[in-house]
Amino acid sequence: MKMKDEVAIVTGAASGIGQEVAIQLSREGVNVVLVDLNVCDKTIQQLEGSSYLECIGDIRDEQFVKATVQRTIEKFGEIQILVNNAGTCCRLDIEHMTMVDWDRDLDTNLKAAFLFTQACIYPYMKEAGYGRIVNISSVSGINGGVVSGDEKDGRSGPAYAASKGGVIALTKWVAKEVGKYGITCNSVAPGATATSITAGVAYDTSKQVIDRMGQPSDIANAVMYFASKESGYTTSQVLKVDGGISIG
């Protein structure tokens, strides 16, 4: 892929999908900005062939987001790729969910994606006439929650589904707005994937066409296409990487 020496911001880079995305980007020679609430030591140890910048803080905080983008510009001078990946998932049903639970998922999954998208496009990607924005949504944002085999935690909660549905809508809106600037905006929608969000929850993958849990590498592989120059005629798309659970 033609990505060498580009600069990518990846949120949620300390583990899971974000970690794998950062590692795969580094293998292509991309300089990566690792954003997380936790330190990214395990990710840094696996980076290959590129420089990095670690930014630790709360992605729901507008000032932190602006500072992260500014630090990126100061170190690398440009931003070509943004991967909005960081997320939280409350599994309480609507009867028992509190506003704290609701706000956590909406702010982490949707508000943060908006903040980073806005800060990267204006003015940097717009002025450069190029950009690749990839939002990690979920099939929960399409079908209202991935059902597992766990009676207690049967599916992701309403805040998670609503936030990921919002990410999909934001993806489409942004794509229509920024295509004229040479910027694309796409989304990858994972199904049940082995990350900290799904830890301890039993999924009956026998109901899928591909009978296994997804791995972070499965999602990262899809992200890599959307983040590359080769995807220049593709925008506003939502690619379901879900083992076929959404068929039919």
Q: Tokens 């905006």 identify what position?
A: 185
In a domain? residue 197? no
CB 134 within 8 A of CB 226: yes
Choosing from 160, 181, 203, 225, the catalytic residue is 160
- How many domains does the chain contain in total? 1
Active-site residue flag, 124: no
Percent of the chain with pLDDT over 90: 81
CATH of the domain at 165: 3.40.50.720
Rounded to 5°, angle at Cα 75 from 71 and 76: 115
Residue pair 139/187 in contact by the 8 Å Cβ criterion: no
SS3 188: strand
The pLDDT-based confidence of 248 (bands split at 50, 70, 90) is low
Q: Which residue has the higher pLDDT, 246 or 56?
A: 56
pLDDT confidence band for 127 (50 / 70 / 90): very high
Report if residue 200 sits inside a domain: no
**DSSP string of 126-157?**
HHHT-EEEEEE--THHHHS--B-S-STT-B--
What is the per-residue pLDDT for 204? 79
pLDDT at residue 196 tops 60: yes
Mean pLDDT of the chain: 93
pLDDT for the residue 154: 54
Q: Does residue 198 lie within any of the structural domains?
A: no
The pairing of beta strand 81-84 with beta strand 131-136: parallel
Q: Is the pLDDT of residue 71 over 60?
A: yes
User: Does pLDDT of 124 surpass 80?
Assistant: yes
pLDDT the model gives residue 75: 98
Q: What is the mean pLDDT of residues 191-198?
A: 83
Q: What would the pLDDT profile of 76-90 be if each residue is shown by its tens digit?
A: 999 999 999 999 998
At which residue do the structure tokens 């120059």 appear?
Answer: 229
Q: Which two tokens stand for residue 151?
A: 């009676």
In which domain, by residue range, is 86 found? Answer: 7-143+157-191+216-241
- Asked if residue 120 belongs to a domain, the reply is yes
In a domain, 196, yes or no: no
State residue 201's pLDDT score.
79
| Residue scoring higher pLDDT (22 or 197) | 22
Within-domain flag for 207: no
Beta-strand pair 31-36/238-241: unpaired
Has residue 176 been placed in a domain?
yes
Q: What is the mean pLDDT of residues 218-246?
A: 96
Which pLDDT tens digit goes with each residue over 131-151? 999 999 999 999 887 665 544
Q: What is the pLDDT of residues 110-123, one digit of tens each?
A: 999 999 999 999 99
pTM metric for this prediction? 0.95
User: Among 148, 153, 143, which Cα is nearest to 189's?
Assistant: 143
φ and ψ at 100, to 5 degrees?
A: -65, -45
Cα dist from 20 to 41, 61, 67, 218, 223, whole Å: 13, 24, 24, 9, 10
Q: Is residue 2 part of a domain?
A: no
The pLDDT of residue 102: 97
Closest CA to 35 of 1, 68, 79, 80: 68
